[in-house]
Amino acid sequence: MPGIPLRNGGPAARIAVIPGDGIGREVTPQAVKVIRAATALTKRPIEFVEFDWGADKYLREGISLPPGAVEMLRDEFDAILFGALGDPRVPSNQHAADILLGLRFKLDLYVNARPVELLHDRLTPLRDRTEKDIRLMVFRENTEGLYVGVGGFFKKGTADEIAVQEDVNSRKGVERIIRYAFEYARQNGLKRVCMSDKSNAMTFAHDLWQRVFKTVRQEYADIDSRHLYIDTLAMEIVRDPRQFDVIVTCNLFGDIISDLGAQLAGGLGLAPSANIHPGKTSLFEPVHGSAPNIAGKGIANPLGSVLASAMMLEYLGWKPEAGALRNAVRAALRQNYVTPDLGGDKRCWHFYLRFTNCVIIMPSRNPPMCAHQATPPEALVPSALIPARNCRRNQYPRMMTAGIGIRKTNTSVRTRARGYSSMYAPMTPEIAPLAPSAGTVELRLKRTWSKPAPSPQTR
Ligand code: NAD
Ligand code: IPM
Ligand code: MN
């Protein structure tokens, strides 16, 4: 989705990386590598500083969000790339409340932008819907509502127990998110804004939403604004998602409707989000959680995190790099280069290999491999992973050992390897615009023989 606002549009950026728990620790490093590759091509200075905040640290040291962390992030970083928090060993989810909700509240990231965009027709479970039908933005209020943690227990653990969770809504808080949704629509040429609440049952908190909405919408006569109760919205978005451009709603309903939207566009593995306070340090994360059921298996889909990274690059004002990430995701989906959640057989790390078009040289005398061949990276020594753009004759003795000659031109690399034909390979289209002369290439090595020559003994 277009039109994420700018932090500063400056030439360099400093990013705090919080991988967190579970698959957050698998997908986030992949996204960081992809960002590094994209920004290296355009020579943008970008610095990543990783923080180990999460369940392990919380269980080990009792620390969730360290003292001073908020001020440090606010003053010393442009953005935060976040993975996910949640661990079965912390059933209270206290560390997630402290870190994730803590950052949303304390950095005052009042806009939670969650685009729902179908990137390939085959990914939606809705019959007869195509890419052009599913393209909308959910704006979730991100600092108030039922999330503020006001409440308590009375007579806890007894038969007479009472539990209270307060829904806190301020006029200023409601107004700024509704106004933001209208402004976003106007600035991006979108014609429809739908505000959703449950004012028929929540007659105080959501009465405020109703009144503020009625006031603000008067300033946006050019936009077709409507209201739907949240239960009806859940039904309508499935029945006909073409009705919606921009949806704005409260914290809890935004959480729920964005998971529903994510599934309409292919599932949680693909859904990105941005937690924004315009102009200030903001936080970017996939919509999904730590997925303990698949953590550690290498099958987590990294594309939600990559698309969240694209939102982050756009927020920094780095549109070409953001576009490169999005194009690469689209290309991977087009070619069904995907993880098992989308029906593929790729692993979490494969997307990065595809993105950078690394030339992989197997150690010792094994034949060279192309990144597209499903080679588990653990089987390779790190020095055998060579970005194609760095390929220079004589620079990598290992390559010569493996019997390869490489000649680099502006747009292609020529290879010669025993048992392999030499061939030119074009730059992949999703990266080419970033580096018109950088020589980043997709290298495909083809075997030139089909059968080994018979040995003298068998003759
Ligand atoms: P979840 O999003 O972690 O997983 C829901 C389902 O989607 C699971 O079947 C999971 O395997 C699948 N899934 C999610 N992301 C995927 C990916 N990238 N690739 C492939 N499959 C993916 O939600 P949950 O199971 O309800 O929650 C697990 C933990 O995560 C809980 O502790 C929860 O509180 C936490 N959580 C954290 C965040 C966050 O940090 N932003 C968001 C949601 C949930
Ligand atoms: C999300 C998550 C969080 C939320 C949880 C982990 C508190 O579900 O980011 O969507 O409800 O905001
Ligand atoms: Mn959620």
Among candidate residues 74, 66, 81, the one with its CA nearest the CA of residue 29: 81
- 167: annotated active-site residue: no
Ligand 2 atom nearest to 84, measured from its CA: 6
pLDDT in tens, 73-93: 999 999 999 999 999 999 999
Catalytic hit among 180, 255, 315, 341: 255
The response to whether residue 255 sits with its C-beta less than 6 Å from ligand 2 reads: yes
Name which residue leads in pLDDT, 266 or 359: 266
- The most confident of the ranges 6-10, 211-215, 319-323 is 211-215
Strand partners, 50: 17
Q: How many Å lie between the centroid of ligand 2 and the Cα of residue 86?
A: 10
Q: Which residue type is seen at 136? A: L
Beta-carbon contacts of residue 40 (< 8 Å; ≥ 6 apart): none
pLDDT of residue 434: 61
Q: How many Å lie between the centroid of ligand 1 and the Cα of residue 14?
A: 27
pLDDT of residue 459: 39
Which residue matches tokens 């728990």?
A: 21
pLDDT of residue 350: 86
- On the question of pLDDT at 361 being above 80, the answer is no
Catalytic hit among 106, 198, 280, 408: 198
Average pLDDT, the chain: 82
pLDDT of residue 92: 95
Among candidate residues 206, 251, 252, the one with its CA nearest the CA of residue 228: 206
pLDDT of residue 58: 98
Name which residue leads in pLDDT, 420 or 144: 144
Q: At what angle do helices 319-334 and 303-315 cross, to 10 degrees?
A: 160
pLDDT of residue 48: 96
Q: Are 246 and 183 in contact (CB under 8 A)?
A: no
DSSP conformation letters of 387-435: -GGG--TTT-HHHHHTTEEEEE-SS-EEEEETTEE----PPPTTTGGG-
User: What are the φ/ψ torsions at residue 225 (nearest 5 degrees)?
Assistant: -105, 145
pLDDT of residue 439: 36
pLDDT in tens, 239-264: 999 999 999 999 999 999 999 999 99
Q: At what angle do helices 251-264 and 230-239 cross, to 10 degrees?
A: 10
**CA–CA distances in Å: residue 23 to residues 49, 94, 100, 226:** 19, 19, 16, 38
pLDDT of residue 10: 64
Residue nearest to atom 32 of ligand 1 (CA): 86
Q: How many Å lie between the centroid of ligand 1 and the Cα of residue 121?
A: 24
- 259: annotated active-site residue: yes
- 231: annotated active-site residue: yes
pLDDT in tens, 144-179: 999 999 999 999 999 999 999 999 999 999 999 999
What domains does the chain contain, in order, with CATH numbers?
1-110+277-349 (3.40.718.10), 117-266 (3.40.718.10), 356-452 (no CATH)
pLDDT of residue 3: 55
The response to whether residue 271 sits with its C-beta less than 6 Å from ligand 2 reads: no
The response to whether residue 141 sits with its C-beta less than 6 Å from ligand 2 reads: no
Catalytic hit among 56, 108, 224, 259: 259
Q: How many Å lie between the centroid of ligand 3 and the Cα of residue 252?
A: 9
Among candidate residues 22, 54, 17, 10, the one with its CA nearest the CA of residue 33: 17
